[in-house]
Amino acid sequence: RFVASKEQIHAYLKASGEDGGRGDEEEEKEDDEEEAGSDQSEPPAKRGRLDGHGQDGESQEDAEEGEKAPTERKRARGQNKSRPCMKPNHYEKSRLCPSVTQGCADKCYFGPRCRFLHDISEYMATKPADLGHSCVLFETFGKCIYGVTCRFAKAHLGDGYQNIINTDLAKQWEGKSLVRNNLSKDLQHQLRKKKFSFKKADEYLRGLAKPQSNGGKGGKALGRSAEDQEVSNCTTPQEDLGDTPECPVLPEEEGDPKPAALQSPVPTEDEGGCPIKTAGLVTDEDIIKLRSCEKKKLEIQGKLYLAPLTTCGNLPFRRICKRFGADVTCGEMAVCTNLLQGQSSEWALLKRHHTEDIFGVQLEGAFPDTMTKCAELLNQTIDVDFVDINVGCPIDLVYKKGGGCALMTRTNKFEQIVRGMNLVLDVPLTVKIRTGVQEKINVAHKIIPKIREWGASMVTLHGRSREQRYTRVADWDYIAECAKIASPMPLFGNGDILSYEDANQAMQMGVSGIMIARQVTAFLLCFWALGALIKPWLFTEIKEQRHWDISSSERFDILKDFTNYGLEHWGSDTQGVEKTRKFLLEWLSFLCRYIPVGLLEHLPQKINERPPYYIGRDYLETLMASQNVDDWIKISEMLLGPVPTSFTFLPKHKANSYR
């Protein structure tokens, strides 16, 4: 009885929007006018289930368009490669100088050459209207560091635009680090000037270049010699003692990093040119290298693992998943070459919230030199529990450069990368792969024993090939076979888990004999963990073994929490608000695929089933089910106020796994 046509849904949203929308009649009229001309952003009509020939995601209109323009079919899946650049040239026409916001206007770095405003009254005259009367930063931490630039400044501005501080609340957070793994200016300078020392990586790479007397390839021989050298270093630690009395060139030569190095990874040099040494007794860990068997093990048996998600797997989203029961989290895929260049945007992907107790990062690269150096860099500068290699990325941009799935066909380079990274890391190394590159040619069962031999601690297998991307159904029978081959190395299975019943069915397949079935809570572990993106409360359903008929108001509260976390992370000024809006809209492009449990004819919802158009039990539920971009923007305006003029949005991916 909830099934409806696209026209009926539009009419319902228009009619109900006046009472159930934002409450502002003028803005509602504008939204209605935009909706009237937004049919072009509506996806094609949908059918019930996945067909074997990949034709079910298209309507008759698409079929007719396909005859006229054969290239139209390609645009209906995967990335929106031709989407326009949506990043504005400037978030504010008249921007206030940061020195004024920080209360030190007389110490502006640019002096008279500064092109920003220094007059607060002049800035306030052109500043956009505030978005609300309460600032999440002020209410949480007792102080908003954005001052007058905050879009919720009414909550903490006094006379003369003075920033009010709640001293009692601020003292509770004083000295506490909420987010770790930040990129310091000193480290960024060293990376850009190529002054960071990679002692272990350079030693390993020099072995790759040495010609082998037996005529074999350097990479494989190096892998054995590196392991032999590791054992010799453990049995004869006196070889490393010769460096300790001398003043080292860089702190990378001092053995394991100290906790202080996490805050300032590169000590400053004194007048004699020697780095500042930490005080305290020298322990065995400072001078004796750990053997591979002595490394910290990745013990995540029985825990729920949130996979790394490009774009949507940001820190605020991971906090949402942690609240619903995720035990293990992983940052977004980071490109190793960008990290080595000190790019701030890439290092932001490595940030870790203090609530993430088990956290890892995922690296992508195609060559052993950059991957090994990047692993050594992260090993000494950030705090993680494991490092994952992405050998399952299917997109062309990565594949054509030799990374992602391409490494499955370049076993020599693959071996050099795994051995090199395992040599320089003090934390476990994991690998994520697919079944293969071509659709009907599985090669994972041949590669997994080699990965175990090379030293990886765990493998994650996505039950599809590169050509399949996220179409078809994940091959769990093949995942079960690979789990037996991988033993005793843990193997995680991934694909098509959207309910606790799917998880239980996967666990009953005997994925592994060492309780790995507990970890088969299977989220798509490549770019999009669809199960968690569509319903982040999936973790709660699995732990409590129940279907949660979550209401639209509860789902809207989740979006509220996400926006609050986003304002904490990206800032409450105009730039932070628009960044939060952007990532919220990207997430809404997946959330709209959730079907409320109370509307389903049969349980559970399958990830590869596409429902018909339907009208929900209330206005908000119908609005959240809409796949119209303008409706997603309307939801963002309920949380973050009106969008800027000339605002446009097109999702990064079309979230289409039905074809």
Active site members: 393
Dihedral of alpha carbons 39, 646, 650, 569, sign: negative
Give the burial string for 408-432 (b: 16+ CB within 10 Å, else e).
Answer: bbbeebbbbbbbbbbbbbebbbbbb
- CA–CA dist 392, 219 (Å, integer): 22
- What's the gap between Cα 406 and its chain centre? 21
Nearest to 411 by CA among 204, 200, 213, 223: 223
Tokens at 148, concatenated: 């007058």
- CA–CA dist 595, 579 (Å, integer): 28
Tokens at 461, concatenated: 């297998």
Q: Contact at 8 Å (CB) between 340 and 363?
A: no
Tokens at 117, concatenated: 């405003």
Instruction: Tell me the CA distances in angstroms from 155 to 161, 442, 443, 581, one per residue in order.
Output: 11, 59, 59, 21
- CA–CA dist 223, 423 (Å, integer): 9
| Residue 434 bridge partners (DSSP) | 462
- What's the gap between Cα 271 and its chain centre? 42
Cα first-last separation, the chain: 26
The residues near 385 (Cβ < 8 Å, ≥ 6 apart) are 296, 298, 358, 359, 360, 427, 428
Tokens at 472, concatenated: 């078809």
- CA–CA dist 411, 491 (Å, integer): 19
- CA–CA dist 416, 31 (Å, integer): 56
Nearest to 335 by CA among 363, 305, 299, 374: 363
Tokens at 113, concatenated: 């050459």
Q: Phi and psi at residue 344, in whole multiples of 5°?
A: -60, -40
DSSP letters spanning 358-425: EEEEEEE-SSHHHHHHHHHHHHHHS--SEEEEEE----HHHHTTT-GGGGGG-HHHHHHHHHHHHHH-
DSSP letters spanning 29-90: HHHHHHHHT-GGGSPPP--SS--TTS-TT--HHHHHHHHH-TTHHHHTSSB-TTPPP---S-
Q: What count of Cα atoms within 13 Å lies in the side-chain half-sphere of residue 200?
A: 31
Q: Contact at 8 Å (CB) between 458 and 428?
A: yes
Helix (H) or strand (E) holding 352: strand 352-353
The residues near 560 (Cβ < 8 Å, ≥ 6 apart) are 639
